Chains A and B, each alone.
Chain A
């Protein structure tokens, strides 16, 4: 039994954090808001140079052959800076979807796309019906789209996009118009459903991990703000009412982390409990995201309600993640189905089975 990350995993997280904090600032994010695509090729190149786009790609396709557990700490850091790039989606959703593909076209698809993903020259996004819209479809070189119990692969010539503006200017959401055909079909029936379920779980894991980072960032911002802001002749952070707003985020955040790490572990090890574990992770982490958004905005007072204060960059993303990759009700029902089933083995001693 060892529920800790390795020294290497923690060191890598540390170095990625340093890079991201330097390169992805509130200022750089706001600059991207004023650009046409809202995305930066230069940033993507930097991410690829760090090996981040290659992390989950198997070594035989030029990647680093790492798994969801290796990546989960990186996803957390992406949340901490509200990374305006689809790294988490691609590494946790698109790449495993490609890897897990089987059938006639699978080998060709893998050979064509995985090496390009690894080196940073191609971006692949997955559109599931659960999300209604596809984030970053406008910069995708390949879209893998769900159509009922089928998956289809589309190149840009095969779809048209309509932009749907989000309250979060960093989220680039598109409705996709396209036609399913035998030519675009890459998976059907049970095989497709497995890929769809896997994509769903990994997508939920990704936003859960990012939500941990977002929440931590919001707390850090509010702690700094309330130490500076003075009222009644004192920093407002010295008042218990304000302290308790922050403590209420911090203690819940602490207990959302391990469910996220456990979910990453059970996905990486293909354990049966993984979908229930993911739902737990998603619910716990996005709940903290909502509390963090609410309490840190409160701690900022009227400033928190302004466009100018950078809290919005993190808060709006946290809001969006509450409804992405399965609503609260969906994830609660998945846990309920397990917990209430007659075959469920729960209670002391049954956590790691």
Chain B
């Protein structure tokens, strides 16, 4: 064990810090759940790509830096500390990109990866259906091969598709074998959202903005070269997409450490009133500790992986930990803000509420998306502890 960064790691951090200091927009971009905000974030992705900071873990030949997971964590620390924009492109570069490198044909890699990297193509996910939420194997949306074998004819409905309103492409699972059941007969298919027969219906979220959408498919003709991996093997491909490393990349500890830091600052600014409830100080201390713990454990896992080790079943604990941490931290902030907590930032009496309310709202979704925390608890009990099904 050696908890010091190497000279190279320190130099890498300095390089990232320098670039971010010179390039991060001075004031926050508008929410990417608005049309203007989406465009602004797309432009930011292009800028990241130009600086080769867009997807540093990708190979150099694809515009990345071939960075390992420790460098990734360092970059994320600098990224969040610099207050850089959220990644509108995360589905593409963190989820689909690595999956495509593993399962895609050479032609698919040539065709898709660059657009993904530059932000030209923004991707959304299409998994959930009205009757396939936690039970994803209940997917019914069909993709049937046309008689000439050139297209899939896609019919059905997907829902809760984040950022689908302005995205260019969707990826998800469809039933290619109409007689199949459950996990079998599903295929992983890439769908351009401008095809005829596709209707995207925005769903306003708790903040009123259309952060996710339903996608309706009515005899949509998707070319067969949009199949990723083998036909009928969609479940395996999807599991790779949802695998731990991807999860680690999506929710690296830095953002939670920054929230904990801001919470400490908020508490200090309001200490006299906050201390009227002793539970608040306790919660602030706990926020710091838990953000640290998430960081430490992530580093430990990353170190093990970098050394060629394998992810164990214990990795299924991480989603519960960060999502509940995030919700708890924002709940504490709401307590500190008191009567101002419910006010939108532009309300005359809002004072310095900053974006705590936005964060509070978003933190409510954490225990639900990417597999509810109840499902996560089942997974821990069954796969990690070996409890009976």
Contacts and interface: CB of A to CB of B under 8 A. Distances in A.
Interface of A: 1-6, 69, 219, 223, 226-227, 234-235, 237-238, 240, 242-244, 246-248, 250-251, 254-259, 261-262, 265-266, 280, 283-284, 332, 335-336, 339-340, 344, 346-352
B103 interface: no
B321 A255 contact: yes
Given A248-B377, A251-B320, A2 B2 contact: yes
B388 A237 contact: yes
A226 B314 CA distance: 20
Contacts, number: 168
Given A1-B5, A336-B285, A348 B257 contact: yes
Contacts of B285: 332, 335-336, 339
Contacts of B317: 250-251, 254-255
A336 B6 CA distance: 30
B285 to A, nearest CB: 5
A332 B287 CA distance: 12
Interface of B: 1-6, 9, 13, 70, 74, 76-78, 80-81, 253-255, 257-258, 260-261, 264, 267-268, 281-282, 284-285, 288-290, 292-297, 299-300, 303-304, 307, 309, 314, 317, 320-321, 374, 376-378, 380-382, 384-389
B77 A349 contact: yes
Given A223-B387, A226-B387, A240 B303 contact: no
A153 to B, nearest CB: 34
Contacts of A4: 1, 300, 303-304, 307, 309
B257 to A, nearest CB: 4
Nearest to A340: B268
A259 B293 CA distance: 6
A54 B299 CA distance: 32
A340 B275 CA distance: 13
Contact of B299 (A3, A240, A243, A340): A3
17 contacts: A3-B299, A4-B309, A5-B1, A223-B385, A234-B388, A237-B388, A240-B374, A240-B377, A250-B384, A251-B317, A251-B380, A254-B317, A258-B299, A261-B300, A284-B289, A347-B81, A348-B255
A289 to B, nearest CB: 16
Contacts of B376: 247
A347 B253 CA distance: 10
B324 to A, nearest CB: 9
A348 B1 contact: no
A44 to B, nearest CB: 30
Given A283-B289, A346-B260, A351-B296, A3 B1 contact: yes
A295 to B, nearest CB: 12
Nearest to B6: A1
B381 A1 contact: no
A243 B300 contact: no
A257 B292 CA distance: 12
Given A284-B289, A348-B76, A348-B81, A257 B297 contact: yes
A335 B74 CA distance: 25
A247 B297 contact: no
Contacts of A332: 282, 285
A82 B197 CA distance: 66
A137 B57 CA distance: 56
Contacts of A250: 314, 317, 380-381, 384-385
A254 B299 CA distance: 13
B252 to A, nearest CB: 9
A265 B314 CA distance: 22
A247 B377 contact: yes
B315 to A, nearest CB: 9
B385 A246 contact: yes
A340 B309 CA distance: 38
Nearest to A240: B378
Given A251-B321, A255-B297, A351 B389 contact: no
A348 B258 contact: yes
B381 A247 contact: yes
Contact of B5 (A69, A254, A340, A352): A352
B254 A349 contact: yes
B387 A227 contact: yes
Contact of A243 (B254, B314, B387): B387
A254 B314 CA distance: 7
Contacts of A240: 374, 377-378
A350 B320 CA distance: 24
B76 A1 contact: no
Interface centre among B289, B304, B377 (most CB of A within 10 A): B289
A3 B385 CA distance: 24
Nearest to B267: A340
Contacts of B307: 2, 4
Nearest to B281: A336
A258 B381 contact: no
A347 B261 contact: yes
B1 A243 contact: no
Contacts of B294: 255
A185 to B, nearest CB: 37
B200 to A, nearest CB: 35
B261 A223 contact: no
B28 to A, nearest CB: 17
A259 B28 CA distance: 34
A351 B261 CA distance: 12
Contact of B264 (A226, A257, A258, A340): A340
Contacts of A243: 377-378, 381-382, 387
A334 to B, nearest CB: 10
B258 A265 contact: no
